[in-house]
Amino acid sequence: MKRNPQDHITLRARLLAVGLGLVLLLAALPVAYLLWPARVPVAGPVDSGALATLYGLQQHDGQQVTRNSYQGRWLLVFFGFTHCPDICPTTLSSMAGVLKRLGDDAALLQPLFITLDPERDTPEQLAAYVSFFDERIVGLTGTIGQIQGVADAYGIYFRKVPSNDSYLLDHSSTALLLGPDGQLLERFSQQATADDMLAGIVRVLGRDRGAEADSMRSTEQ
């Protein structure tokens, strides 16, 4: 059976098109990596003494964080920057939603937004930014060295990505739930909704308070 020469040409054209597409895709990957804001980076392990790295940071109200600043409260921590186009506003909106739905139990939780861009995110800038979502969210900043130290302790990746005449930040988009002792209890990925966060937080709060009550009963006996 003879093959139609036209079929051979068509197949060859398709293979050439596929090959060209692969070449263009591979060539574009390095450029895409440099220009695309963070979607993939995740948080690494949290150091056992990470909580202490918060001491000395500056709150958006000008107060310095001390050992007693958030004593007895669970911390919901997210790292980002105020010029963030999408991930940060989405996560902070979810955090605000959690606070509203927790009701009176929201007093047990302290949400923290730690800037990874201290060069631009002044306390005043942070105050205006976090209050847009919920006034109970506290913005933290510090020196470049302090912020790097905190990010390292909490396993947060970030780097500058040039954007026009300025820059964005490629950064881990994981929110962290820490116990009053600073230990990591839960991670919430970028895909986590307010419902996901609420469920995880309620579960942890209920478990920890139940364990505390059991401990108190044992002591009384």
87-140 residue pLDDT tens: 999 999 999 999 999 999 999 999 999 999 999 999 999 999 999 999 999 999
How much of the chain exceeds pLDDT 70, in percent? 74
Q: Would the pTM of this model clear 0.85, i.e. be above it?
A: no
pLDDT of residue 173 exceeding 80, the answer is yes
Q: How confident is the model at residue 194 (pLDDT cuts 50, 70, 90)?
A: very high
Calculate mean pLDDT across residues 39-47. 65
pLDDT of residue 73 exceeding 60, the answer is yes
Q: Report which of 88, 136, 86 is spatially closest to residue 109, judged by C-alpha positions.
A: 136
The 74-80 sheet, strands edge to edge: 58-59, 138-141, 109-115, 74-80, 175-178, 184-188
Q: How confident is the model at residue 210 (pLDDT cuts 50, 70, 90)?
A: low
- In sequence order, what are the residues at sequence separation of 6 or more whose Cβ sits closer than 8 angstroms to the Cβ of residue 142? 56, 57, 58, 118, 150
Which residue(s) pair with 169 in the sheet? 160
pLDDT of residue 25 exceeding 50, the answer is no
Round to whole Å and give the CA distance between 122 and 142.
9
Look up residue 35 and give its two tokens. Answer: 């220009």
| Residue 34 backbone dihedrals phi, psi, to 5 degrees | -75, -35
Round to whole Å and give the CA distance between 191 and 82.
20
Q: How confident is the model at residue 179 (pLDDT cuts 50, 70, 90)?
A: very high
Helix (H) or strand (E) holding 176: strand 175-178
Burial class (CB in 10 A: 0-12, 13-18, 19+), 166: exposed
